[in-house]
């Protein structure tokens, strides 16, 4: 996968040019509303919906190896992180989490962030990417990850208590990044 710095989404969105780059500390004020909306909904991430701003900062900005933002016209529309999935012998596999602002959803931004994250993962020395908990109810994400070359390698029965659907299965998805 080649270097991806600025991505033109004009064919897919009305945002024009989107730039994906490393997040800066001072940008958390713009990132927090995106995280807060997704986390409070409790429908896609196994994160306490009542997490504090400070807890979310630690989780999204400090704990990962790197955090990125997708911006257009000076506005942050989405964000993702890369972290090592397991230590030791599993350290060549990374994990990523992606969140898109409500206004930017359904316009191809998650796909672009995932493509960007794969290129960045290779630059950081990772050889594979694993998503540990993709909810079976999150059919849009499942379809997208499959389209981007991820395989479903496992199913965790009733692993997530969804606020509307009750107990739902979660998928483990995996992609080898080296060609």
- What are the tens digits of pLDDT across the range 93-137? 999 999 999 999 989 999 999 999 999 999 999 999 999 999 999
Question: pTM for this structure?
Answer: 0.89
Contacts 24+ apart (CB under 8 A), 113-116: 113/20, 113/68, 113/70, 113/78, 113/80, 114/80, 114/144, 114/145, 114/148, 115/1, 115/4, 115/7, 115/148, 116/4, 116/7, 116/20, 116/68, 116/70, 116/80
Domains of the chain: 6-130 (3.40.630.30)
């Amino acid at each position: 996968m080649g270097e991806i710095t600025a991505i033109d989404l004009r064919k897919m969105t009305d945002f024009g040019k989107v730039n994906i780059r490393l997040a800066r500390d001072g940008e958390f004020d713009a990132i927090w509303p995106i995280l807060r909306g997704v986390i409070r909904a409790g429908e896609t991430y196994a994160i306490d919906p009542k997490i504090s701003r400070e807890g979310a900062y630690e989780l999204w900005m400090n704990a990962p190896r790197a955090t990125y933002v997708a911006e257009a016209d000076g506005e942050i529309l989405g964000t993702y992180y890369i972290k090592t999935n397991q230590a030791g012998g599993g350290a060549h596999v990374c994990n990523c989490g992606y969140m898109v602002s409500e206004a930017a959803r359904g316009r191809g931004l998650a796909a672009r962030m995932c493509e960007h994250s794969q290129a960045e993962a290779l630059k950081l020395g990772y050889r594979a990417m694993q998503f540990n908990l993709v909810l079976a109810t999150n059919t849009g994400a499942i379809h997208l990850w499959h389209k981007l070359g991820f395989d479903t390698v496992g199913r965790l029965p009733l692993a997530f208590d969804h606020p509307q659907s009750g107990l739902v299965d979660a998928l483990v998805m995996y992609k080898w990044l080296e060609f």
